[in-house]
Structures are given as structure tokens and as C-alpha cells.
Amino acid sequence: MNSQDFSTTILVDETPKQVFDAVNNVRAWWSGNIEGRTEKLDDEFAYQYKTVHRSRQKIVESVPEKKVVWLVTEAELNFVDDKNEWNGTKISFDISRKGDKTELRFTHHGLTSKFECYDACSNAWTDYINKSLHDLITKGKGFPNEKESGKKNNKQHA
């Protein structure tokens, strides 16, 4: 069984600063209720999407224009048997220049195919990073609550 961490990458024309700023503007690209600060080292925030997903993240690494890492300090995923699967996992956003473009590599360290939520969570992260965060970076507007339309199953909310 593949135990590789989930990762997805986008390439944009914008600067590393614009990408870094967008990543830290979590409410503009991730659905759900977010309480707390999300901008700098040691900030902590709580995330909740309906009764499906509740978690707490702490920013444990923040290097302007290069990297942001969240530690999931507490999680409750109500659509899988092991509701605490995310506890202790890390979510990283690595930013680098690739020629005249900026690459954003998102990795949820610990989210592997061994997790019951892997398919739903990886699909949701793909949507949030490759669509919502991408549009926030490139168009100035993400769409964090698009899934509210009911087109997708709630299980797909990371």
C-alpha cells in the first residue's frame, strides 16, 4: 500500500509574496468557519465545517515568500471511524521560483492512503488548492464555499 503523503502543486505567474499572502488568507480559500489568526508564526486557528470536520491548527513555521507549515493539534472528522486521523499531521505550503513562475507545493504530511479519509480529503484538498487558492492568487478571489451548492458530498470537505 502506498504510504506517500498527499501533495499537489500549482504554478502561477504571480510573485512568491502574492502566493505567501494568499496562503495566509485562509478564510478566502478554505470553506467553513475559521476562528483565530492565520497570518504568522505561532498563530492558532480553529476550523469547522458543519458537523463533518473540526480541527485546530498552529502555524509552526513561517518563512515569508518561502514556506508556511501548520501543525494539526486537534481534529475530529465525523465521516470516518477514526475521527482523530489528522491529529499530529502537518500541512505545508512550499513556495519557490521556477523560471519566471512561482510554484506552490502543498503537502499534507501524514495524510496517506492508509487513512480512511484519504480519498475524500485528498479530493477536497485538490479542489481547495488547485481551484480556490489558485483563483485567489491569480484572480484575487477564491471560492471557499462553492461546495455549499450541494453538488458534492459533504465527505469531500477536508
Helices (H) and strands (E) counted in the chain, each on its own, are: 3, 7
Q: Which three cell numbers stand for residue 95?
A: 513556495
Q: List own/partner pairs for 147-150 with CB under 8 A and 24 or more apart.
A: 147/31, 148/31
* CB-count burial class (<10 Å; 0-12, 13-18, 19+) for 61: middle
Residue 2 has pLDDT above 60, yes or no: no
In this prediction the pTM is: 0.88
Q: For 48-70, write each residue's pLDDT tens digit.
A: 988 999 999 999 999 999 999 99
